[in-house]
Chain A
């Protein structure tokens, strides 16, 4: 048994010291926050509250997983918020046509827009920040044009299905939470155990070297934006579902920043090549629980929440930089 464990751990390419150190910050903070919250607020450790926190953060979590892929290649995707809105709105419209198409087409379109991002960035050799910013602004405009700034409600009868997508329980756990866990699991496997995953890290580590070593860097860069776009569209549909089948044109506003914050807090470096989706999951939960605690407390002005989240992000980033520096000195 022990030998088997050793074989397991030694065959998995996580450099435990490095990646754990990066994730430790977030992980320790998460544990401390959970301890603090459970001691201070008796409602915190109830299954109802835990499920609520998971459910509320599952969509941002799904988006943040896609963002992790992008950031690992040293990129950034600012268009996710707009793609969420587009995904939700298109899905709601398409319920008039066909339920299955209402699920497939919006995701296909956001995936395609992600591919457009990736193609422009990789073939045109342009800054991801600017390209996805353009996509973010443009798509948001299109969403407002096609909706006439009104919310879109799914066709009659479909709201139950959508409600299930956003809220329904399966084995006592909400459907979107299952979805998030599934996506985190698959992504972890892809990043650690497949060529595509390793090449994603390679591109983030050194694009030039990767190219010289035969990695199809441009393709990798396209695919990470496709993943990000796909997951954004999916999150948009779930978000519409959470509101009982109502898709809002303002959905996902500023989510790109929350997603980036969660990814960074989770230990994925904006410089690329280091980090992973487990850290991102921790980062999402950390930010989610901060919000939850403020709500449970009830005495704080709710506008303190962004202030605390901002400070939190800053603190984590500073700690990470410190850790990275000491690590550099050692080697």
Chain B
């Protein structure tokens, strides 16, 4: 259905694509894999008309095509579902589905009855039941994504490109997406699927194509490509080296260390209803739970972003009430939130400025920044965290996600905190950088820093923490230590509200 032949694309100073060829057949889900910077997005953007290719051919549906704009591509039958949902938030679901092709009455005005009816038919054909008259922003990201998919399918898309569609969905929502994907597949629609989550690649995709440094490495059937060999091909290392990357952290029992953070009966609104746990010096504690379980909200309470209504928070054994992040920082608590782009980086500032933003008081006298101290600090962190940047003056927005995340880590580490909270520390980051951040977490905790990790990828928690607290609907429902930390156990705790962790505690006390 789609054949891209030796596509090249040059950007000033870089060869982004060096003769990439790539084929997709009807009714297949085809994963496009590669590290950030491998050329995946460039390839997709060329396909969808965002960029123009410098060389090569694109054949779609047997015809040579050359889309100039995303709109042309869409009209030609190629639709793209982006990571950030691209609907219009203030319009209704129905309007979003029908935008640009609203049925009209004979007087030329919009026939609203028909708009709603057609939108409903389109959505229900994919098994999506929503109130089409409600505005889009009243629904979750997942539903919004389904709506975009429904829209593109109804526009006679033959090829749907999904660019990290699951990165902002929780497990239940992902299931719905899978169902829709299978439905598209059954209709003979081809899907190009881009994701960093290997698990879902292996679950959903028929074939995998790998790009590395702008070159095409190859295409394999999913069933014939082991995970290790896939990663090896993506990062260009041997399989043995890869195997060492995904080592599970051996859980350390830090309960003997002094207690750094102690939460008791913490409540805030209906997101956090009853949470208690303690966090020890040098411990890596994971907070697991589905989206909406209150995991981020708990972190925000500890970091002083949000207040709590009930319960106590102790830091270093002293009860504290935090009203802002500045107080939390003074008490040694720093947070790296889940929204790197909006709550983390200052895009137009340099790497140097981004690193030292939070610790300026430390390196300045009477509000004058000591350039010497700043440069020293920045150099130190760039080296220590392995931040890949041409120089410290590079604007942070030009760095890859993984390197941006490292800069943010540096920003908070420069404050020498006792506790660093990392909310989704590796979301949207490629495998190499992910492994680096994970080993960094290890190293930091070995040096006595406590870490609180939140992740929607249970595997990430299991492999990188000492202990996991499980939350459900704002309530602590379990705790998993050592070998108990498995995906099944986390799911079981969530499903049974305390089957394993808390249940055990209960049986002990009863017995």
Chain A residues within CB distance 8 Å of chain B: 7, 10-13, 15, 18, 189, 193-195, 198-199, 201-202, 204-206, 208-215, 273-274, 331
Contact = CB atoms under 8 A, between A and B. Distances in A.
A243 B510 CA distance: 92
A202 B89 contact: no
Nearest to A195: B102
B100 A213 contact: yes
B133 interface: yes
Contact of A211 (B71, B87, B101): B71
Interface stretch (B22-30, B106-114, B277-285): B106-114
A12 B115 CA distance: 11
A237 B100 CA distance: 36
Contacts of A193: 109-110, 112
B134 interface: yes
Interface in B48-72: 70-71
Interface string B126-146: 000000011101100000000
A208 B86 contact: yes
Interface of B, helix, strand, loop or mixed by DSSP = mixed
A281 B91 CA distance: 22
30 contacts: A7-B113, A11-B112, A11-B113, A11-B116, A12-B112, A15-B92, A15-B134, A15-B135, A193-B109, A193-B112, A194-B108, A195-B104, A198-B99, A198-B102, A198-B110, A199-B99, A201-B91, A202-B95, A202-B99, A206-B88, A206-B89, A209-B87, A211-B71, A212-B74, A212-B86, A213-B96, A214-B71, A214-B99, A215-B99, A273-B88
A277 B70 CA distance: 33
A194 B88 contact: no
A212 B71 contact: yes
Interface string B70-89: 11001100001000001111
Given A195-B110, A202-B88, A211-B71, A13 B95 contact: yes
Interface of B: 70-71, 74-75, 80, 86-92, 95-96, 99-102, 104, 108-110, 112-113, 116, 133-135, 137-138, 151
10 shortest interchain CB distances as A-B pairs:
A205-B90, A193-B109, A214-B100, A273-B90, A205-B88, A209-B86, A11-B112, A202-B88, A206-B88, A213-B99
B68 to A, nearest CB: 13
A209 B71 contact: no
Contacts of A10: 133
B88 A210 contact: yes
Contacts of B95: 13, 198, 202
A15 to B, nearest CB: 5
Given A13-B112, A210-B99, A211-B71, 8 more contacts: A10-B133, A193-B110, A193-B112, A198-B91, A206-B89, A212-B74, A273-B89, A331-B137
Contacts of B112: 11-13, 193
Nearest to B110: A193
A271 to B, nearest CB: 10
Most chain A CB within 10 A, of B99, B112, B116, is at: B99
A195 B86 CA distance: 19
B337 to A, nearest CB: 18
B70 A194 contact: no
Contacts of B137: 331
